[in-house]
């Protein structure tokens, strides 16, 4: 009996050792997979570097430089995202050329602005090409933004959401609130994917901002004289014209008075009537004064 118990104990011990070996082997395999995933994640994170560059430089001709830049960007496989050319007037003068024309002299400064996206691996070559176009470079800078950890975080969160949605879908029913939760998780998963797509695009194509300008330019052109005084006749002509105009005005006044002849007749009649009554009143006063003096004597 003791021999049978000892035999059973030995068999159980052997099977227990084998199961432990299988268990530890499984754990080791899981750890290896985790390490592989970590190494893969590290390699993914190390590549997500966003480059941006900025340059300001002086050129001989802004318009010509803009055309050359567009061609260089196209040759590098990039695209122009934004551009503008502006002329800023510094000073303007108008000099009299003749009676009806002026010479306009304008001093202006032309500036250009361009934003381009070029492949990141060609950014250095492109900036070197730009430096050759410039008379001299005022400012040049490049910034490298490491988005590796953000990209990795988005990727791992997206993977977690896939697993969560799979588990919820297995347990969810049409009336279960888990369906709404699944939709929210899916929306968040899409947001993370879009963020990573945006990071990939910004990593693949670097953004460069270019400001360029040229020396002040002098532009002359003949324009119409807008001063009305310069178009008036000479002094002698204006004097004769004013005399003639005065005679014309005098004749118009006579003609206007002639239209009022009835008023003149009425006025004359009123004058004589007033004069008559004034004389009559004066004679009466004189007679009364004389009678008063005679009575006192």
Sign of CA dihedral 127, 128, 134, 137: positive
Give residue 49's pLDDT: 86
Q: Give me the count of residues in the chain.
A: 297
The secondary structure of the chain, three-state, reads: CHHHHHHHHHHHHHHHHHHHHHHHHHHHHHHHHHHHHHHHHHHHHCCCEEEEEEEEEECCCHHHHHHHHHHHHHHCCCEEEEEEEEEEEEEEEEEEEECCEEEEEEEEEEEEEEEEEEEHHHHHHHHHHHHHHCCEEEEEEEEEEECHHHHHHHHHHHHHHHHHHHHHHHHCCCCCCHHHHHHHHHHHHHHHHHHHHHHHHHHHEEEEEEEEECCCEEEEEEEECCCHHHHCCCHHHHHHHHHHHHHHHHHHHHHHHHCCHHHHHHHHHHHHHHHHHHHHHHHHHHHHHHHHHHHHC
Give the mean pLDDT of 265-276: 87
Lowest-confidence region among 17-21, 147-151, 166-170, 287-291: 17-21
Q: Which two tokens stand for residue 48?
A: 């997500």
Residue 77 backbone class (left: φ over 0; alpha: ψ -120 to 50; beta: rest): left
Q: What number of CA atoms fall less than 13 Å from residue 33's CA on the CB side?
A: 6
Give the mean pLDDT of 67-91: 91
Give the mean pLDDT of 97-101: 80
Give the mean pLDDT of 181-189: 70
Lowest-confidence region among 10-14, 101-105, 229-233, 238-242: 10-14
Provide the pLDDT confidence category of residue 291 given band limits of 50, 70 and 90.
confident
Q: Tens digit of pLDDT for each residue in 24-47?
A: 333 333 333 344 444 444 444 457
Q: How far apart are CA 108 and CA 101, in angstroms?
A: 22
Give residue 180's pLDDT: 58
Q: Tens digit of pLDDT for each residue in 187-244?
A: 777 888 888 888 888 889 999 999 999 998 888 888 888 777 777 777 888 888 889 8
Give the mean pLDDT of 79-106: 88
Give the mean pLDDT of 74-96: 89
């Amino acid at each position: 009996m003791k021999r049978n118990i000892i035999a059973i104990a030995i068999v159980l011990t052997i099977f227990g050792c084998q199961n432990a070996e299988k268990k530890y082997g499984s754990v080791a395999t899981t750890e290896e997979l985790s390490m592989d995933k970590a190494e893969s994640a590290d390699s993914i994170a190390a590549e997500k570097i966003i480059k941006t560059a900025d340059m300001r430089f002086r050129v001989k001709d802004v318009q010509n430089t803009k055309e050359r830049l567009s061609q260089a960007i196209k040759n590098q496989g990039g695209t122009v995202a934004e551009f503008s050319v502006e002329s800023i007037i510094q000073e303007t003068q108008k000099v009299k050329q003749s009676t009806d024309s002026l010479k306009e002299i304008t001093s202006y400064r032309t500036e250009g602005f361009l934003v381009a996206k070029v492949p990141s691996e060609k950014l250095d070559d492109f900036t070197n090409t730009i430096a050759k176009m410039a008379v001299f470079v005022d400012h040049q800078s490049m910034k490298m933004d490491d988005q590796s950890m953000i990209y990795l975080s988005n990727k791992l969160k997206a993977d977690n959401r896939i697993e969560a949605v799979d588990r919820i879908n297995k347990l969810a029913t049409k009336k279960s609130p888990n369906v709404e939760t699944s939709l929210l998780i899916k929306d968040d998963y899409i947001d993370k994917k879009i963020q990573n797509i945006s990071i990939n695009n910004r990593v693949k194509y670097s953004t460069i901002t270019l400001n360029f300008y040229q020396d002040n330019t002098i532009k002359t052109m003949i324009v119409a004289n807008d001063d009305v005084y310069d178009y008036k006749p000479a002094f002698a002509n204006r004097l004769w014209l004013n005399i003639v105009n005065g005679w014309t005005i005098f004749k118009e006044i006579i003609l206007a008075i002639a239209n009022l002849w009835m008023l003149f007749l009425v006025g004359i009649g009123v004058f004589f009537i007033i004069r008559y009554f004034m004389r009559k009143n004066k004679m009466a006063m004189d007679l009364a004064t004389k009678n008063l003096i005679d009575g006192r004597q």
